Amino acid sequence: EEAGMIMYLGAQAFAARVGLSVNTIRSYLAKGLLPDPDAVIVTASGELRGWLPATIDQWASSRPGRGARTDLTK
């Protein structure tokens, strides 16, 4: 990281940081389950979204347990 430069993480880096596949992250993005990106870069081929590491960490710490079923009763 260069002095004064803010580093944003794309979907691949987001996935690696939280231990999920890129396909899962893209699915979550399509379903509106990810935090709003901290930056959006508009390119000829579409939008590139970027998140600050702190945004990703906050999301990861507040998401429900993995595979937890809340609809089951004994």
pLDDT of residue 63: 84
pTM of the model as a whole:
0.79
Q: Which two tokens stand for residue 58?
A: 């906050």
CA–CA dist 48, 9 (Å, integer)? 10
User: Could you say which residues of the chain have pLDDT below 50?
Assistant: none
For the chain, give the mean pLDDT.
Answer: 90
Residue 25: exposed, middle, or buried by beta-carbon count in 10 A (0-12, 13-18, 19+)? Answer: buried
pLDDT of residue 31: 95
CA–CA dist 59, 40 (Å, integer)? 18
pLDDT of residue 73: 60
CA–CA dist 51, 15 (Å, integer)? 11
CA–CA dist 74, 62 (Å, integer)? 27
